[in-house]
Amino acid sequence: MRLRTIGMVLVMATTCPALLAEGTTPSSSSLWKSVRQVMHHRLLLPASKRYQPGSRAGDYYTIDGVNPTALAYVHREGGVMHSTRFPVGSLLIKENYDVHHRLVNITAMLKADRFDTGDHNWIMANYSPGGKVLAFGKVAACINCHAIAGKSDFVFAPPPLNLLSAQTIHSFFPGKKITKPYKILLKKYPHAVLQ
């Protein structure tokens, strides 16, 4: 099993660096190719698990994936909550599933070199399951929400380590109902709610 994991990391490591030449921004289509690589190889963000509770009906379940750059960094730092400055080339994705385990969309964060220093240089993206670009670049809605996790470089730790309050969810996603599993997490882990 360890050899298979090392092999996946080597394959991904040879394909992902081409995504970012120094000081450049990738296209939405090249980022989508890297997102598909992460989905294919199934490297999970540490402390994450497949089909963990999402906060809203549109992301009833989620899977947090990472590329080898982000994975190695989070391991080295001892977890997301201790990760204060992800290296350039870090790619984190969230696969969002509905209550029936159907993929609804995929969000992605790519750390770029000198992309948007005020917002930690993250390129934000949202894709349909087929790769249609729903949002890309300096996406204010994404940045404003992820700024809540400023101490961990705009990256949320998987639930139940980090949770958004019901008020935050309602303010960023008006009209969206909070899922029952997420409500249970909010009650069970009030200390994990980010303010």
* Residue 119, both tokens: 């917002």
Band of residue 19 on the pLDDT scale cut at 50, 70, 90: low
Q: Using an 8 Å Cβ cutoff, are 136 and 123 in contact? A: yes
Place of tokens 């309602």: 170
Band of residue 20 on the pLDDT scale cut at 50, 70, 90: low
Q: Using an 8 Å Cβ cutoff, are 93 and 65 in contact? A: yes
71-94 per-residue burial string, b: 16 or more CB within 10 A, e: under 16 = bebbeebeebbebeebebbbbbbb
pLDDT in tens, 134-168: 999 999 889 899 999 999 999 999 999 999 999 99
Q: What dotted CATH number matches 2-157? A: 3.50.70
DSSP 35-88: HHHHHHHTPBPTT--TTEEPSBGGGSEEEEEE-HHHHHHHHHHTSGGG--SPPT
* Averaged pLDDT for residues 2-20: 44
Report pTM. Answer: 0.87
- In the chain, where the domains are located: 2-157
Nearest residue to 107 via CA among 178, 55, 167: 55
pLDDT in tens, 33-51: 999 999 999 999 999 999 9
Band of residue 23 on the pLDDT scale cut at 50, 70, 90: low
Q: Using an 8 Å Cβ cutoff, are 194 and 187 in contact? A: no
